[in-house]
Amino acid sequence: MADLDPPTPDALTWLQGWYATQCDGEWEHEYGVSIDTLDNPGWSLRVDLRDTALEGRPFARREVHRGEHDWFIARVADERFEAACGPLNLGEAIHQFRSWATGPHRDER
């Protein structure tokens, strides 16, 4: 029987794991992750980066518009990853955070 790599977790499962690794008894009392709805309609994702390995890491703003309800915008501002997206793009927004967080660190400004 061949060794199989464990399956790659979906974006939400990965985000839960990332959050859990930040929780050190202090970080989660001041910082965190929030997902909320927008009235246009859509989603917002905010991930605090202070006191994480991602603090200070550059991020090139991303903006994709495919249609009225198929879009996302992502940026880092004030040591927070922020994304807004269409009603069916939450997974894509989380994936954008995941790709940046796990990708090679390079100056993206």
Over its length of 109 residues, how does the chain's per-residue pLDDT go in tens digits? 556 777 788 999 999 999 999 999 999 999 999 999 999 999 999 999 999 999 999 999 999 999 999 999 999 999 999 999 999 999 999 999 999 999 887 554 4
In this structure, is residue 85 part of a structural domain? yes
In this structure, is residue 108 part of a structural domain? no
Closest to 51 (Cα-Cα) out of 14, 68, 26? 26
Tens of pLDDT, residues 85-97: 999 999 999 999 9
What stretches of the chain show up as alpha helix (H) in DSSP?
11-22, 27-30, 90-102
Instruction: Report the C-alpha gap between 10 and 70 in whole angstroms.
Output: 20
In this structure, is residue 34 part of a structural domain? yes
**What pLDDT shows up at residue 9?**
86
In this structure, is residue 65 part of a structural domain? yes
Task: Show the domain range for 49.
Answer: 30-102
* pTM across the whole model: 0.87
In this structure, is residue 48 part of a structural domain? yes
Number of domains composing the chain: 1
> Coil, strand or helix: which one is 54?
coil
